Amino acid sequence: MSSVLTIRGGVPLTGRVTVRGAKNLVPKAMVAALLGNEPSVLRNVPEIKDVEVVTSLLQLHGVTVEKDPITGDLTLDPTNAKTASHTAIDAHAGDSRIPILLCGPLIHAIGEAFIPDLGGCKIGDRPIDYHLNVLRQFGAVVEKRPGGIHISAPGGLKGAKISLPYPSVGATEQVLLSATRAEGITELSGAATEPEIVDLIAVLQKMGAIISVQTDRTIRIEGVPDLGGYNHRALSDRNESASWASAALVTRGDIFVEGATQRDMMTFLNTYRKVGGGMDIGDDGIRFYHKGGKLNPLVLETDVHPGFMTDWQQPLIVALTQAEGVSIVHETVYENRFGFTDALIRMGANIQVHRECLGSVPCRFGQRNFLHSAVISGPAQLTGTDIDVPDLRGGFSHLIAALAASGTSRVTGIDIINRGYERFTEKLAGLGADFDITSAE
Ligand code: EPZ
């Protein structure tokens, strides 16, 4: 049954939240366990929908997944991996994009994989061409079948020299999860190097993989025949941490985010400081707060790591609606990630989106009819309204806008937010938010 949030705005969020393992690492580390010949243990695992989806997909394929009732740690045992029925896979894949990353590990484990047509947040076309090209370069046979794609590799996967046209996080993970047990050496140029990628490499190295990241975004993997298990504590979710930081600015509040890690958020922290946000950086987390004065507008361009993450821009844009002046955000990673601004405009925000690349460098989406630059003028008084959540980060942005707005907002479709924000309604309540949850009639 879907839920509805009725939010009464105008209450600053103050208090403490705990952020646990990164949504964009934990499901990948779970898939990596399939490559091992013994059980693995994953710690700091959040209770989010994406973990549930991957748990059921792995169980479908014969992997036992046990969750410690106290800590939430997962023990994954891949020793009885087996094929699964296509209909069952499709039924369990949900709107996750993770199934595509099962290809390499399943081919190594059982010789084949079936991937249903994928979901994922509606922030662009979300193609998988890079993934399929990578698998073909490893020697896999990729066949389009009704409802999805069948991949097999009769002679096993062979190391390859691969160059990505764009530093895709998913395609880099596809290479890592396929190459570690492939025969021979793989050299990947144009790789993504996000902290979540480096944490996945740490997981694979614990299993026995030989992987090096060079200075020019090249990753070199020496294939090994067998891998063992791992015992790993997932890095914390920098995207959730950045979301709570923006929430503190938007609601003029003060939030200590336990688990926020300076090392993984350096670019965000610089931007947060330039907007006028306050921060105290500690060893166990970061305090983010509104200093009481005005917020500053800025010109921002999203990019791959170590640039400003695309996943950070949506909540921050809500803060920019409160800045005194004109801000510009040029989204260069996804072609259609400003749909969430429609609801903000209905609430009173002054935002225009444009087809032009309003940034320092023309990006892949320039002159291709994608509304991928935004101009935000502030400060704007936000007023509560009815909102239907469009995607994960946009949905969180709508929540914090409603929390800052005057009046009441009725927010539907909030189940999407469970995909990446652990126990978010409990956290909001703990921070003093004024809202009710009811089931949609
Ligand atoms: C991961 O998505 C994250 N999701 C995204 O987080 C994140 O925004 C993104 O990386 C970039 O950092 C997970 O890890 C589950 P990409 P991914 O492949 O791997 C294009 C969130 O809110 N592309 O780096 O799917 C693609 O369309 C989510 O937590 C192809 O063209 O991202 C996009 O324009 C949102 N063909 C660009 O590359 C392909 O085969 C970057 O995508 C694959 C990607």
Q: How far is the CA of 305 from the centre of ligand 1 (A)?
A: 12
Give me the domain span that covers residue 128. 26-233
Query: Where does the pLDDT of residue 204 fall: very low under 50, low under 70, confident under 90, or very high at 90 and above?
Result: very high
Q: Examine the fold and report which residue of 233, 267, 298 is the final residue of a domain before the chain moves on.
A: 233
Residue 346: phi and psi, rounded to 5, are -65, -25
Question: Can you state the angle between helices 129-137 and 103-110, rounded to 10 degrees?
Answer: 30
Secondary structure (3-state) at 262: helix
Residues 281 and 386 in one domain: yes
Phi, psi torsion values for 424, nearest 5 degrees: -65, -30
- Tell me: do 212 and 254 sit in the same domain: no
107: which residues sit within 8 A by CB, 6+ positions away?
Answer: 113, 140, 151, 152, 153, 156, 157, 178
Two tokens, residue 384: 């509560």
Which pLDDT does position 366 carry in this prediction? Answer: 87
CA distance 158 to 175: 11
Quick check: CB of 170 below 6 Å from ligand 1? yes
- Pocket of ligand 1 contains residue 169 by CB under 6 Å: yes
Pick the residue whose CA is nearest to atom 17 on ligand 1: 170
Q: What is the mean pLDDT of residues 117-129?
A: 76
Backbone angles phi, psi at 262, to 5 degrees: -55, -45
Higher pLDDT, 163 or 128: 163
Structure tokens at 138: 């490893």
- CB proximity list for 52: less than 8 A, separation 6 or greater: none
Taking alpha carbons only, the member of 19, 24, 6, 14 closest to residue 392 is 24
Regarding the beta carbon of 119 and ligand 1, being less than 6 Å apart is answered no
Q: What CA–CA distance (Å, rounded) separates 214 from 189?
A: 9
Query: Is-contact 416 389, C-beta < 8 A?
Result: yes
Q: Is 392's C-beta closer than 6 angstroms to any atom of ligand 1?
A: yes
Ligand 1 atom with the smallest distance to the CA of 24 is 14
**Is the Cβ atom of 284 under 6 angstroms away from ligand 1?**
no
Tokens of 150: 């069948």
49 CB contacts (<8 Å, ≥6 apart)?
Answer: 94, 415, 418, 419, 420
Residue bearing tokens 């994922």: 120
pLDDT in tens, 254-289: 999 999 999 999 999 999 999 999 999 999 999 999
Closest atom of ligand 1 to CA, residue 194? 12
Are 103 and 78 in contact by the 8 Å Cβ rule? The answer is: no
User: Atom 8 of ligand 1 has which residue's CA nearest to it?
Assistant: 311
pLDDT tens-digit map of 301-329: 999 999 999 999 999 999 999 999 999 99
- Between the CA of 242 and the centroid of ligand 1 the distance, in Å, is 18
By most ligand atoms within 8 Å of CB, the mutation choice from 168, 303, 416 for ligand 1 is: 168
CATH number at residue 324: 3.65.10.10
Of the residues 201, 233, 265, the one at which a domain ends: 233
The mean-pLDDT minimum among 90-104, 234-248, 339-353 falls in 90-104
Residue 62 Cα to ligand 1 midpoint, Å, equals 28
Shared-domain flag, residues 229 and 253: no
Based on the domain organization, do 203 and 344 belong to the same domain?
no
Looking at the 3D structure of the chain, how many domains does it have? 2
**317 and 348 both lie in a single domain:** yes
Q: Is 357 a catalytic residue?
A: no
Question: Would you state the pLDDT for residue 86?
Answer: 77
Same domain as 201, residue 77: yes
Q: Which run of H or E residues covers position 5?
A: strand 3-8
Predicted confidence (pLDDT) at residue 123 exceeds the cutoff of 80: no
Written as one string, the DSSP assignment of 348-386 is T-EEEEESS--SSS--TTTTTT---EEEEEE----B--E
Q: Which atom of ligand 1 is nearest to the CA of 310?
A: 8
Single residue among 180, 207, 233 that ends a domain in this structure: 233
pLDDT value of residue 120: 66
Listing DSSP states for 60-112 in one string gives HTT-EEEE-TTT--EEEE-TT-----HHHHHHHHTT-SGGGGGHHHHHHHHSE
- Please choose from 24, 102, 193 the residue to mutate so as to test ligand 1's pocket, defined by most ligand atoms within 8 A of CB: 24
- The size of the chain, in residues, is 441
pLDDT of residue 145: 86
